[in-house]
Amino acid sequence: MNINQILTSERGSVVAPAGCGKTQLIIAALNNPHNKPILVLTHTTAGVAALKKRLRKFKVANQNFVVTTIDGWALRVAHTFAASCPMHSSAESPKLFYPEMRRVVNSFVASGALSKILKASYSRLYVDEYQDCNMDQHQLIVSLSDHLPTVVFGDPMQCIFDFSGAMPNWVSEVEQQFPLLGTLTTPWRWNNAHSPILGEWILQARDILMSGEKVDLSSCPQHIFWHPLSGDYQTDRSNNYKAERSILELYPNDSLLVIGASMDEQSRHSYAQGNPRIDVVEQVQLAGIITAAQEFDEKKGKSLADSIVDNVSKMITNVDAAVTKRRIDTILNGRNEKPATECEQALCDVVNSNSRSSILSALLQLEKRDGARVYRKAAFKALKDTISMSIGSPQKSMFESASIIRERLRQVGDNRIPKRAIGSTLLLKGLEADHCLILNAQNRGMNARHLYVALSRGAKSVSVFSAHQYIG
């Protein structure tokens, strides 16, 4: 579409199907100098980091833009104009705090009291990933558009973060406020990977799914490979591994994303546990690490050692938690015939000292024991980094250290994604790989939008397991 539409529109929206050059369009618009920077809002700190990385790559002048999250920008306004933005809830209760903050800041912006400052600070407003806006965020952007020329970019078929409150309807609410400027139609992701036929198929599949129809998995035999599910777990898992092995043997240097069930994190971990070629993409909340750190703060003696073993057994193979915990009991009670291994001694040291350095030593020894393989590398590294930080900052609890490590990882963005990894549509949306393997395209929660997000991850091929050839 014509970039002048983006640069001159007072209010507008751009529908951007996956892989069709939305980010490049935003970068091109930001590369045009204005007398004031353009404010660019998105949803996550990882999204901010990714966009800034692309802007640096294309040498877009820093004075041309201000990139931040919607909530980050609103929080800054709430703090700067605290008297005009009275808050009753605390950030320690995020489920109450953020909805209230959005509404309070929206009221302040809608009042017009900030109008002169907005116009003096920014030339325009662009909002990325608009389909992820909830109603409170949508209302805030609408209020901002009364004071700044605004263009929003998104794709209603990628609206999968719809579990945190009401979302605006794209046609009746988003396009009502921001009239459609155009829809991107060139499948750049696939063209650049020399698979234009797949790109056109993905765009057609999007239209089919959006209309409520089913996609025929046999209709693109050069790039879409359908594997029927048998209904037997062991058979299907074995076939999953065979399909993955076939991809990696044919394309040993290519990247691969495996898409598992969004609603079953444990099944994704289990897939990686039995597969040395695949790592796990972790949720940015790192809930398991936060919980582990809290347990390490609270527990002492044998219960602390048991907690270490239980938590590490969810990240490393061959820990055998039940056997290891019984063995530590035996050693502590002097009933062991075989001498303690280095790993067992490290766990006994935890029982005797409860020190953070002994916890770190136990983690390192568990990692080094025979047959051990870390299949959740990001999670295990975050746990080790948490304990290391707490050793260097003894005034901080391990829980506080884990929270700091989590925030650092949020800032890293897509650098945390391994070359060959398993995740869910929620974790992998916005990412791409050479090949994509969908373990069950008819799993619980895999509606038309999740399915479209899954199908559009692979630039060269998509392998799909499902009970039926027609899915949607």
What kind of architecture, by CATH, is found in domain 190-281+419-471?
A: 3-Layer(aba) Sandwich (3.40)
Q: To which residue do tokens 């306004």 refer? A: 77
Average pLDDT for the chain: 95
What pLDDT is stored for residue 227 in this prediction? Answer: 98
The answer to whether the predicted template modeling score (pTM) of the entire model surpasses 0.85 is yes
Domain parsing of the chain, residue ranges: 3-186, 190-281+419-471, 287-416
What pLDDT is stored for residue 413 in this prediction? Answer: 62
Q: Which helix (H) or strand (E) holds 157?
A: none
What pLDDT is stored for residue 415 in this prediction? Answer: 64
Sign of torsion over alpha carbons 171, 173, 176, 177: negative
What pLDDT is stored for residue 164 in this prediction? Answer: 66
Nearest to 262 by CA among 438, 94, 43, 44: 438
> Is CATH 1.10.600.10 the classification given to domain 3-186?
no
Note the Cα 78 to chain centre separation in Å: 27
Q: Which helix (H) or strand (E) holds 220?
A: none
Query: What pLDDT digit, counting tens, does each position of 301-338 carry?
Result: 999 999 999 999 999 999 999 999 999 999 999 999 99
Biggest distance spanned by C-alpha atoms of the chain = 81
What pLDDT is stored for residue 307 in this prediction? Answer: 98
Question: What is d(CA 399, CA 420) in angstroms, rounded to the nearest whole number?
Answer: 30
Sign of torsion over alpha carbons 168, 173, 177, 181: positive
What is the DSSP secondary structure assignment for residue 131, as one 8-state letter? G
What pLDDT is stored for residue 47 in this prediction? Answer: 86
Q: Matching CATH topology for 3-186 and 190-281+419-471?
A: yes
What pLDDT is stored for residue 416 in this prediction? Answer: 62
One digit per residue, the tens of pLDDT, for the chain of length 472 reads 889 999 999 999 999 999 999 999 999 999 998 899 999 999 988 789 889 989 999 999 999 999 999 999 999 999 999 999 999 998 878 889 999 999 999 999 999 999 999 999 999 999 999 999 999 999 999 999 999 999 999 999 999 987 667 899 999 999 999 999 999 999 999 999 999 999 999 999 999 999 999 999 999 999 999 999 999 999 999 999 999 999 999 999 999 999 998 889 999 999 999 999 999 999 888 999 999 999 999 999 999 999 999 999 999 999 999 999 999 999 999 999 999 999 999 999 999 999 999 999 999 999 999 999 999 999 999 999 999 999 999 999 999 999 999 988 887 765 667 899 999 999 998 889 999 999 999 998 899 999 999 999 999 999 999 999 999 9
| Distance separating the N- and C-terminal Cα atoms of the chain | 30
Calculate the alpha carbon distances from 456 to 38, 336, 433, 466 in Å: 30, 56, 10, 16
What pLDDT is stored for residue 1 in this prediction? Answer: 80
Q: Classify residue 24 as left (phi > 0), alpha (psi -120 to 50) or beta.
A: alpha
Q: To which residue do tokens 């590490």 refer? A: 312
Question: 3-class DSSP state for residue 229?
Answer: coil
What pLDDT is stored for residue 92 in this prediction? Answer: 77
Sign of torsion over alpha carbons 217, 156, 284, 267: negative
Question: What is d(CA 129, CA 443) in angstroms, rounded to the nearest whole number?
Answer: 25
